[in-house]
Amino acid sequence: MPAPATASNSCEFPVEVSIVTPMHNEELCVREFHRRMSAVLRDMGVSHEILLVNDGSTDSTPEIIRELAQTDPNLVGVFLARNRGQCTAIYAGIQHSCGRFVVIMDGDLQHPPEEVPRLIEKIREGYDLVKGMRQKRQESLVLRRIPSLVANYLMRATSKCDIHDMGGLSCIKGEVARGLKLREGQHRLIPALVYGQGGAVCEVPTSAPPRFAGKSHYGIGRSVDVLFDIVLLWFQNSYKQRPVYLFGRISLWLFALASLVMCWLLYGKIFLGEHMGTRPPFLGAVLLYLSSLGFMSTGLILEILVNTHDAVSGATPYKVREIVTSRAANVGVANGDVANGDVANGDVADAAETQSDRP
């Protein structure tokens, strides 16, 4: 029985570029993807690794990956125990990567390997993430392009991240990528997640050819999941990540509305002699009071859960881009800690902090 694999996210960039590609029943595309990707990286003249994540394929994809890995020392096959979905496969590949830059791309060659050098060149200008904006997409207008336009608009509106194509080719700084905690479906939100942490993001136009071979694994049903992801993203970005701010405001509005209805009923009872106990507005006001109490209770419970999560995970709501100080011998920032928002000596109060959205 082979020893369990361990993530190598603590490495100090032994390679320049890591290519992370999920593969699920892509036996017709694996060899061509590897050939073209390897040729591009050789022409770039950079140290690299290609991580092909087999996501529980039932065709010959695993055998092809093993065969390629025997002849190419730069290829790493990551085999998941069973099919867990595209996002989980991407997350596994990221956590096993060692590159200074991590490129996330599909294995069906709809993300052309020839576009990778442009993204690498751009991210070296100081960005944390560079996204490829697909041009002249040749997919179905109704099933893919229109839902994509709507979803991208909603994600921009909720996250304030000015990326027009969240689903294109991605290039991320290695320490930023390995610091992400992705849950199923959140691979579509990576630009928004990086931007929300204070990262500098941009996009460059890329081509969007059709699949090299085979059929797409995704249909219109995926749009429902995207909608829920957008709602979650809006909730996470609302009111400075404090649930009580959001639910508390809703609670106050409901309480105020219930109080107005109750005052109107009391006025009718006292001055007009109207009976209020059995009137529908009275029952409505009682329901509004109970709803107000429910929303406030929900906000308080979520506050406790968020505080517990942050304490356990050690998550910080910020990212320190730079520390400026004249006390270089006393204040330092470790490379890995900067990406996670932690200062090596914890001496932020005495340091001048500068942060911007652009490099």
85-120 pLDDT tens trace: 888 899 999 999 999 999 999 888 888 999 999 999
Q: Is the pLDDT of residue 288 over 60?
A: yes
How many domains is the chain partitioned into structurally?
A: 3
CB 230 within 8 A of CB 185: no
Write down the pTM of the prediction.
Answer: 0.69
- Model pLDDT, residue 137: 77
> Is 3 a domain residue?
no
State whether 249 and 284 are in the same domain.
Answer: yes
Residue where a domain stops, chosen among 224, 239, 254? 239
> Is 1 a domain residue?
no
Confidence of residue 223 (pLDDT cuts 50, 70, 90): low
Q: What angle do CA 242, 243, 246 make, to 5 degrees?
A: 100
For 135, the domain range is 15-239
Task: List the CATH number of the domain containing 162.
Answer: 3.90.550.10
> Is 42 a domain residue?
yes
Parallel/antiparallel/unpaired status of strands 201-207 and 129-135: parallel
Per the listing, tokens 């609670």 go with: 251
State whether 65 and 214 are in the same domain.
Answer: yes
Q: Residues 287-312: what's their mean pLDDT?
A: 85
Q: Which amino acid is at 160?
A: K
Write down how long the chain is: 359
For the segment 336-350, what is each residue's pLDDT rounded down to a tens digit?
A: 444 444 444 444 334
> Is 6 a domain residue?
no
Beta strands in the chain (DSSP E): 15-23, 48-54, 75-79, 99-104, 129-135, 170-173, 201-207, 322-324, 352-354
The alpha carbon of 303 is separated from its chain's Cα centroid by a whole number of angstroms, namely 22
